[in-house]
Amino acid sequence: MSNIKKIAVLTSGGDAPGMNSAVRAVVFSAFQFGIEVVGVFRGYEGLIDWEVKNLDLEDVRNINNRGGTFLYTSRSERFLQPEYRKQAADNLRKNGVDALVAIGGDGTLRGAIAFQSEGINTILIPGTIDRDVSCTEYTLGFDTAANTAMEAIDRIRDSSVSHGRCSVVEVMGRKRGYIALWAGMATSADAIVLPEKWDGNFDSITDAIKRRHADGRNSYLVVVAEGVTDAPELAELIRKKTGIESRVSVLGYIQRGGQPTAKDRMYGSLMGAFAVELLQMGKQNRIVAIKNDILIDYDLEEALDIQNNMLDSFQYELSLRLSE
């Protein structure tokens, strides 16, 4: 067992539904062990500038249903520089903080790895709607983002059917296509463009739309993960090659917001509590992960090399079959 008396908690990078549940669980779990908790505002930036608040149970009691993060967040360019990491570490030591719980995605993980050289014990909770932390099968925010995208696409599709047009909908995800895949399958998309599978063949999309149009279909839906291809360009290409009116909808940041789903609240609570358990067990520099729906942990550096959550080939093949 460790002799930790005081910890800090922060949220970093893109906000993700479920982050508040994780912070709440950290505070409640720490309270059970007699550990003080300092909330750090604006992620690693707030750690450098020491923008903090001592958190008690009343500060976090009713934040489960709130989207975003009440601790605020940022992407810190300064934290990439050794002198600012040292400043952050000095702030923690001067204020008697024994360990840090950081909640965020891939960039937050890399920051935590770099922070090890300053001697600060960091536990990372993966929170990113993109689901792009490879060592874990789930990251906080994904379920809410996928559901938000699905609900928006359902509404867009209603209009598409009414006007007899093709809707090209761009969703978030960066280098991972999970939101596009899940939202696309859930809304019966005619084509889903994923970064893991995209070969640049626009003809495969336009030819499929032509075939369905010849069979009597009059409305179509294409879901595109951001960064794979230019969505307006794809819509214009569809219009030129098929003669079908095509419109673009970029869902953008609405996918980050809104009330977290039960899944994100539950996983946030589990991961937050588990992070404190790891500290109590005396573990150093670990990341919380989910495998086969069970909480596990990995060394921070080891986590970068683990590939647990690559796009499932069966899910992708099924999306192709269901789009026929």
Provide the annotated active-site residues.
130
Per-residue exposure over 271-299, b if at least 16 CB sit within 10 Å of its own CB, e if not: bbbbbbbbbbeebebbbbbbeeeebebbb
Match 């030819």 to its residue by tokens. 207
With beta carbons less than 8 A apart as the criterion, state whether 164 and 217 touch. Answer: no
How far the first Cα of the chain sits from its last, in Å, is 57
Lateral strand order in the sheet of 52-55:
52-55, 36-40, 6-11, 99-104, 121-126, 286-291, 294-299
Q: The tokens 């719980």 sit on which residue?
A: 101
Task: Provide the β-strand partners of residue 122.
Answer: 100
Residue pair 222/238 in contact (Cβ under 8 Å)? The answer is: yes
Q: How many CB atoms lie within 10 A of CB 211?
A: 11
d(CA 104, CA 120): 17
